[in-house]
Structure 1
Amino acid sequence: MLVELSIRNFAIIKSVTVSFQRGLNILTGETGAGKSIIIDALGLLLGGRASADFVRYGETRAEVEGLFELLHPALAVCESVGVQVEQDGMLVVRRDISNQGKSIIRLNGQLVTLAMLRELGPWLVTVHGQHDTHMLMQSDKHINWLDAYGESALGAAKAEYTKLYTAFRKTKQDLERMARNERELVQRIDLLEYQLNEIESAQLSPGEDDKLQQQRKKWMNIEKVYSSMQDAYRSLYGDQKGMDWLGHAMGELERVVGYDEQLGPILESVQSAYYQIEDVVHQLRHLSYQMDFEPAQLAEVESRLDQIQSLKRKYGKSVDDILEYAATIQDELDDMHHYKDRLGQVQARLTELAADLAVEALELSVIRQECAQKLAVEIEQQLKELHMERARFAIDVRQTPDEDGVEIEGIKRQVDANGMDQIEFLISPNPGEPLRPLAKIASGGELSRVMLAIKAILAGTDQVETLIFDEVDTGVSGRAAQAIAEKLARVAGQRQVLCITHLPQVASMADAHFLIRKEMSDHETMTLVTRLSDDERVIELARMLSGAEVTTKTEEHAREMIELGRERKTAT
């Protein structure tokens, strides 16, 4: 239940706090006073899209805050999104919007995402507005009303059908794509085979490019390397060279080491150095003999590197990348060469899914037809209570043949995400007239009453505590208006109802009546919301009855309507 709504700097609202109660909460006011703004602000608390346009002119941010008393389903959703709710079941939903359009959302002071709020919103409040009445004019939306009514009976069957339909649709799309792309597939095979042949012909080895770069660097500096090697060799080997002097030092130490034991380690170091240098000399000599350079060798390295560089531009940054790409396209080619096998598998899978889908679609249709009959009877009864006593109502459940559809009971039928059924509401408002599509013959007042009848029925199965009716009584007057007022009062006996109305008959049934008015000065315009006392209610109803001029007679009429409203609510 919505306990309190606080709005600051939102559109033309500077600061408004409204406390609601159980039962029927009526909101009235002149056209343009800001009634829709209240609904827009509440919509933000249910996960509506934020906009910088919501922020009052000259302010930096708008704030909307609602205090809700939660029932079990909403409590469970809060727990699922990680929001803590105290034992009293109270939840504060706050939405701050900056003049840059940025939005901050808090649940009981805890920051949450918009996705989390949207998951919770449908369990807090259900809003029924003129948009819903417009949806009645769209026959393709009628199935949504029927399925909402029959959710408990349809739920399991529809869930199973939806799972199968999702798999069926994906498999069908895969098959269509495979057939559509067969020519592209052949072209792709040709391209990949050319690329693979080009890579394999190069006979690359892992790390080859790095090795060739080192070799190229060596060949390009071969003269400098050879000269330095020779200088190093001559510095170490020969008369009066490094090894000669090391040998002389080693001999001198060997003659005297027996006289001083401290010379032992020094001798060992000199011996070790001598033998290491001797090994180095042998290696330098050996490498010098091997350095038989031919310019053709460098040319071969350069050519190979050019070949590899050309492949790199096409297939990867290194030889290893090129080889990895070759392995990838080899796998892709293997898959492509098994295309016909895979095509057959997909076709077989689609046939299997179509058979299963047909079974589920038929089961769903049978249950839906049973629900349609029950809903039509209940709507007729509701219409009788709304002064359409002789109206007949029916729900047409039909299937459409489709050569490209799914075979169900020997006939190929069109299927979609909702099953194989097309649903359309039919009505005969007057005796002697045949049942015809609701969208084609119903007047605005009749549509409003049909919508209210559906909402009243759905309210009995809905687990949401708060319902908002935004001018659902449009186009209605007289006895029909009184019937709508009594219907709303009955719904409010089970739920908290907030209703925006222009009908005095509806306003007279209020458990709490709020006046929304616009106050203007030279500098600003503000929307104000005031809960009316009994005497103020009389004045407001008199205004609604007579327009701008309120007379003693209209006041008496208004007072009488309020008294009759109390009596009717007590009687129901």
Structure 2
Amino acid sequence: MIAELTIKNFAIIESLSISFDKGLTVLTGETGAGKSIIIDAIHLLAGGRGSHEFVRFGEKRAELEGLFLLEDESHPCYRVCKELGIDIEDEMVVLRREIHATGKSVCRVNGKLVTIALLREVGQTLVDIHGQHEHQELMDPDLHLALLDQFGGKAVQKELLAYTEIYKEYKDVEKRLLHLTENEQKVAHRLDLLQFQAEEINNAQLTINEDEELFEERTKISNYERLYQSLNNCYYSMHGEQKALDWIGQAMSEAEGLEEIDKNLKDVFDTISNSYYQLEELSYQLRDEIDQLEFDPKRLDFIESRLNEIKQLKRKYGSSVEEILEYASKIEEELETLQNRDSHIHQLQESLQSLKEDLALEAKALTEARMKAAAKLTKSIHKELKDLYLEKAIFDVHFEVRKEKGQDGFLFQKNGVDMVEFYLTTNPGEPLKPMAKVASGGELSRIMLALKSIFSKHQGITSIIFDEVDTGVSGRVAQSIAEKIYQVSVDSQVLCISHLPQVAAMSDTHLFISKDVKGERTKTKVNVLGEEEKIREIGRMISGVEITSLTKEHAKELLELAGSMKQA
């Protein structure tokens, strides 16, 4: 849910901070007070298209910031943010956007700079804004299949997963077969290239870690003089008259037998004795190292040449000797496949045919699961439409199967072979048509609410915003719309701009938007209405400017009716 919204220098809003609660929040007020501007701000914050014209006159930039709270780690926002490398802590997401008067837009998600496109990816998981004239995803036939799968739940997801696993294998085999059946000239060129590469790597006779060992040897030979001098100095510092071993040997002789006088001195003698023999052994190792030292210019030249050869191979085939050898192994397999091309083509064709048969079976099972879900969805939506006094409307999920062009076989896609679109008719005797081409005006508002009532439970959207979707309705239809909006708010936070007193009465929180003119500037204000203020505002919505005792009574009656409905 959106918990807090901060707006600065946006349109007629100078500075505004609004806190939102769960449930249904209704925004009311006179026309032009700034209700839609608040929704516009949320829309831009969620990645909507912006313009420098939104910046308040005389200011350099507009600032928008929203705090969103996520209820659990299964929320789709976690997946999107993880893909974008954005951390989410304490189940909170902060979206921020600055729109400059120059037209530049700066966007951040939890402090990380992102593009508007990436902001939109995150925002779409948090906010769903439905305006009076907008075509939202529920009206987009390209998204109807995904909506049906969401509604189908585990039964559909199980079949979709089984299909997807075989589909991936099918596409892999198809790709390999396509690669082998390319034109002869391309295959011949590829064969020549691989043979050259394999020969070049094999002739080098590389061994694992060879380059590291050569680097160490080169360093040793290149620093021969320094190494020889230092080892000699170290050796002669220990060996000879009046040198380290001579003095320690003398100390050992002096300490010998002292433990007979003082038992506590035994450890002293042992330590001196051990040190003497350890240093003596070390001096012999130094002497052997000095004897083995050899400056070999020819060996140094060979190492330089070999390292340069390895460097050239790294430039072509990998960043290390190990990667070069792995690449060689990989192309050896491809060489074998190309050299025995006909045999491999036959094997892949048989494998592809077998996978195609398996895929057809899985696709059929997936279609059957979707059709069962479609039947349940149709029944649920008919109930919702009836509640909204569209009992004569007929909803249907239209299925088509993708076919290969000019053939009888399925055209397999990653989500199956089904093409799904929602069809509708609102008038008896009229044929079913694509939903986007049928609904209009007040009917559209009710149909959208019916669909939202069903899909809001499955989409995982944090906040749903209705911007005057109740325009053009009244009476019992207005009451049914109010009840549906409230039902949607049970599973998702809902913000709603409304001119209907029935909707306002159903609110859990009622925000009154007003404007105040000081000097020559207009400012927008937001007030949370208490019980008495809510009665007055609903009374104003019923009667207009003049509020009478009768309209107050009517307003109280609406609130009591709303309270009874919520408790039912």
TM over 0.5: yes
Q: Distance in 1 between matches of 2:439 and 2:135?
A: 11
| Kept in 2: contact 1:52–1:97 (CA 8 A) | no
**What amino acid does structure 2 have at the position aligned with 1:449?**
R
1:93 corresponds to 2:94:
yes
Residue 438 (structure 1) shift: 3.0
Matches within 5 A, 1:22-61: 22-29=22-29, 33-43=33-43, 56=56, 59=59
* Further displaced range: 431-440 or 74-83: 74-83
| Secondary structure, counterpart of 2:392 in structure 1 | coil
Counterpart of 1:354 in structure 2 is 356
**What amino acid does structure 2 have at the position aligned with 1:376?**
T
Matches within 5 A, 1:256-295: none
Residue 499 (structure 1) shift: 1.2
- Residue 196 and residue 444 in structure 1: after superposition, are their counterparts in 2 closer, same or farther (change >3 A)? same
Counterpart of 1:223 in structure 2 is none
Residue number among 105, 108, 111 corresponding to 2:109 in the alignment: 105
| Secondary structure, counterpart of 2:367 in structure 1 | helix
Residue-by-residue CA offset, 1:10-30 (whole Å, 9 max, x unaligned):
454321111223332112345
Counterpart of 2:545 in structure 1 is 550
Report % sequence identity. 40
Larger Rg: 1
Residue-by-residue CA offset, 1:457-508 (whole Å, 9 max, x unaligned):
2334455564333333355444322211111123334543211234343233
- Residue 98 and residue 118 in structure 1: after superposition, are their counterparts in 2 closer, same or farther (change >3 A)? closer
Residue 530 (structure 1) shift: 3.0
**What amino acid does structure 1 have at the position aligned with 2:71?**
L
Counterpart of 1:168 in structure 2 is 170
Residue number among 557, 560, 563 corresponding to 1:563 in the alignment: 557
* Further displaced range: 382-391 or 429-438: 429-438
Q: Distance in 2 between matches of 1:84 and 1:539?
A: 42
Matches within 5 A, 1:70-149: 70-73=70-73, 77=78, 82-85=87-90, 91=92, 93=94, 95=96, 97=98, 99=100, 100-106=104-110, 124-129=126-131, 133-149=135-151
Q: Structure 1 unaligned runs (5+)?
A: 207-316, 406-410
| Kept in 2: contact 1:542–1:550 (CA 8 A) | no
* Further displaced range: 43-52 or 380-389: 43-52
Residue 446 (structure 1) shift: 2.4
Q: Distance in 1 between matches of 2:60 and 2:518?
A: 22
| Secondary structure, counterpart of 2:409 in structure 1 | strand
- Residue 559 and residue 509 in structure 1: after superposition, are their counterparts in 2 closer, same or farther (change >3 A)? farther
1:429 corresponds to 2:423:
no
TM-score by length of 1: 0.62
**What amino acid does structure 2 have at the position aligned with 1:39?**
I
Residue 455 (structure 1) shift: 1.2
Residue 148 (structure 1) shift: 2.0
- Aligned CA-pair RMSD: 4.6
Q: Distance in 2 between matches of 1:188 and 1:149?
A: 51
Q: Distance in 2 between matches of 1:184 and 1:43?
A: 55
Residue-by-residue CA offset, 1:28-64 (whole Å, 9 max, x unaligned):
3456654444334335665668887765555455443
* Further displaced range: 379-388 or 504-513: 504-513
Residue number among 462, 466, 471 corresponding to 1:469 in the alignment: 466
- Residue 156 and residue 417 in structure 1: after superposition, are their counterparts in 2 closer, same or farther (change >3 A)? same
| Kept in 2: contact 1:448–1:476 (CA 8 A) | no
Residue number among 387, 390, 410 corresponding to 2:389 in the alignment: 387
Residue 155 (structure 1) shift: 1.7
| Secondary structure, counterpart of 2:389 in structure 1 | coil
Counterpart of 2:6 in structure 1 is 6
Counterpart of 1:364 in structure 2 is 366
Count matched residues: 441
Q: Distance in 1 between matches of 2:421 and 2:157?
A: 20
Q: Structure 2 unaligned runs (5+)?
A: 206-307, 318-323
Residue number among 455, 459, 474 corresponding to 2:456 in the alignment: 459
| Kept in 2: contact 1:77–1:119 (CA 8 A) | no
Residue 397 (structure 1) shift: 2.9
Residue number among 486, 489, 492 corresponding to 1:489 in the alignment: 486
- Residue 378 and residue 320 in structure 1: after superposition, are their counterparts in 2 closer, same or farther (change >3 A)? closer
TM-score by length of 2: 0.63
- Residue 413 and residue 508 in structure 1: after superposition, are their counterparts in 2 closer, same or farther (change >3 A)? same
1:182 corresponds to 2:183:
yes
